[in-house]
Structure 1
Amino acid sequence: MDFKKFLPWIIAVVVIIGIYSWASGIYNNAMTLEQGVKESWGNVQTSYQRRNDLIGNLVKTVKGAADFEKSTLTAVIEARAKATSVTIDPTNITPEKLAEFNKAQSGVSSSLSRLLVSVERYPELKANQNFLKLQDELASTENQILTARTRFNEAVKPYNNNILTFPRNIFAKMYGLKEKPYFEAVEGAEKPVEVKF
């Protein structure tokens, strides 16, 4: 049996298997990293859900103060409703959808800040143990949101690096993989906060 006759076929098969393994490795690595992005996005949503749940309890507690500003409460309730209506599919996060989500969530933060500042004028609320506990939980939740958003960005970076570097970007386009956006500060966040007493 002449081994040299089969050598070109053996080399061709080895090269094809090598290319297949390399290309499937690129895809599999991208899918593993995308799962990390999805998990991080789930943690972001969980943190925001916790805040939305706490806001409902906070509004009920504040409503007990009969002369409390109704417009402030209405603003919080409306911002919460708007924020919960914006949903994002983690497999197809676009910069525009993330900006819309971010803007809706910043509306909640802004109205919630106004609510907590206006509470200072209501001594019976400031002394209410339920309110104080909710206020502490909200502060803790805001820290969790910041952490979840940071971890989301940390999960997006290796995914983007994986699919945007050459020659992986060629296969990423073939597989339909797209760059994921990062969380960014909301518009106007660079301006100092104006505190009025």
Structure 2
Amino acid sequence: MKKFLPWIIIAVLVIGVYSWVKGFNNTAVTLKEEATKSWANVESSYQRRNDLIGNLVKTVQGAAEYERGTLTDVIEARAKATSMNIDPSNMTPEQMAKFSEVQSGLSGALKSLLVTVERYPDLKANQNFLELQSQLEGTENRINVTRDRFNEAVQPYNKHIKTFPNSILAGILNFDEMAYYKADSGSENAPDVNFEF
């Protein structure tokens, strides 16, 4: 029995290490997939907004031929926003910042359009416009919820790969930290509301 004892110990150690590596890998893959799916939901919400903006612009164009500059800004910002894609499996803070910057440009252009529309009572009363405005408001809320859910999905993945001894395997198996979605710089300040009569 003594001559088999070293082999039994080695077998137990090999099985233990194998189980640990397998458990780490499978958990990391599962958590990363959940975070990746959450990011897809963020992009889906932004896509919904982009689709609605196209309809909003057409409605505004059809109801009033005015201030082409504002409409052009919205159209250009929408084009930039739809051209920006992030690979969720290889997300960096720099990519997230660029994505956020592009989406902020679209939000700003859209706000300018909605402020401009306030000067046109016929357009404000248009049922199509009111419906689109309501849809956009709901979409903005969805975007906020999906961004929060994305951050909630990233947190357990990052925690899993950063805790010891998992951090050792994460480096060996190429599991990199995922970036969180961060607010635009300056968004912590209250907006300046100015009513010009």
Normalised by the length of structure 2, the TM-score is 0.96
Is 1:35 paired with 2:9?
A: no
| More moved, 23-32 vs 184-193 | 184-193
* Poorly superposed stretches of 4+, deviation over 3 Å: none
Mapped to 2, the partners of 1:75 and 1:101 lie a distance apart of 18
Deviations 1:114-171 (A, max 9, x none): 1111111011111110000000000000000000000000000000000011111010
Structure 1 position 172, deviation (Å): 0.2
Amino acid across the alignment from 2:85: T
Structure 1 position 66, deviation (Å): 3.4
Is 1:126 paired with 2:133?
A: no
- Structure 1 unaligned regions, length at least 5: none
User: Match for residue 157 of structure 1?
Assistant: 155
Q: Do 1:156 and 1:182's aligned partners in 2 also have CA atoms closer than 8 Å?
A: yes
User: Match for residue 13 of structure 1?
Assistant: 11
SS at match of 1:163: helix
Amino acid across the alignment from 1:94: T
Normalised by the length of structure 1, the TM-score is 0.96
Amino acid across the alignment from 1:88: I
SS at match of 2:109: helix
Amino acid across the alignment from 2:101: K
Counterpart of 1:98 (choices 96, 99, 102) is 96
Q: Do 2:64 and 2:123's aligned partners in 1 also have CA atoms closer than 8 Å?
A: no
Counterpart of 2:61 (choices 39, 60, 63) is 63
Mapped to 1, the partners of 2:113 and 2:193 lie a distance apart of 13
Identity %: 59
SS at match of 1:5: coil
- Structure 2 unaligned regions, length at least 5: none
Mapped to 1, the partners of 2:16 and 2:65 lie a distance apart of 74
Counterpart of 1:54 (choices 52, 56, 66) is 52
Q: Do 1:62 and 1:68's aligned partners in 2 also have CA atoms closer than 8 Å?
A: no
Structure 1 position 9, deviation (Å): 0.4
Structure 1 position 67, deviation (Å): 3.5
Alignment coverage as a number of residue pairs: 195
Mapped to 2, the partners of 1:56 and 1:100 lie a distance apart of 22
Amino acid across the alignment from 2:53: I
CA RMSD of aligned residues (A): 0.9
Mapped to 2, the partners of 1:67 and 1:173 lie a distance apart of 58
Amino acid across the alignment from 1:78: E
Amino acid across the alignment from 1:42: A
